[in-house]
Amino acid sequence: MTAFVEFNGRTYDTDEEGYLANLSDWSPEIADYMAKLDDCDLGDAHWEVINFLRAYYQKYQIAPAVRVLTKAIGKKLGKDKGNSKYLYQLFPYGPAKQACKYAGLPKPTGCV
């Protein structure tokens, strides 16, 4: 099954859960748009996590599972951000799952 998201007069292929099929299709604008479809307004705190995930993917070629993301964020941005409560407030559908979607990454490895 193919799915897609329409944005600025173009269609972008996604998987059946709405994750962009091609990494190179991503832009900050499409991230904002995908978030709006979920009734989520991306603020600086969201972008901090999204940018962190994109850097993680760049380095390791995988989207981290939530447990790994939480630990890694804590190390990089401090304990007050590296905890489930903070991350779930930002991304109520699951920090790794939802943030990876807006970051244009595949669904996290280790996420079932």
Residues contributing to the site for another protein (CB under 8 A):
59-62, 64-65, 67-68, 71-72, 109-110, 112
Catalytic residue among 84, 109, 111, 112: 111
Q: How far is the CB of 80 from another protein (least distance, A)?
A: 19
Q: How far is the CB of 82 from another protein (least distance, A)?
A: 13
SS3 55: helix
Q: Between 8 and 58, whose beta carbon lies closer to another protein?
A: 58
Q: Between 19 and 42, whose beta carbon lies closer to another protein?
A: 19
Q: How far is the CB of 10 from another protein (least distance, A)?
A: 25
What is the rounded CA–CA span in Å between residue 80 and residue 11? 38
Dihedral angle computed from the Cα positions of residues 25, 87, 55 and 65, in that order, rounded to the nearest 10 degrees: -90
Partnered with residue 7 across adjacent β-strands are: 10
Q: Between 5 and 68, whose beta carbon lies closer to another protein?
A: 68
The Cα-based distances of 26 to 53, 69, 80, 95 in angstroms read 13, 21, 29, 19
What is the rounded CA–CA span in Å between residue 24 and residue 27? 8
Q: For this structure, is 40 an active site residue?
A: no
Residue positions annotated with a catalytic role: 111
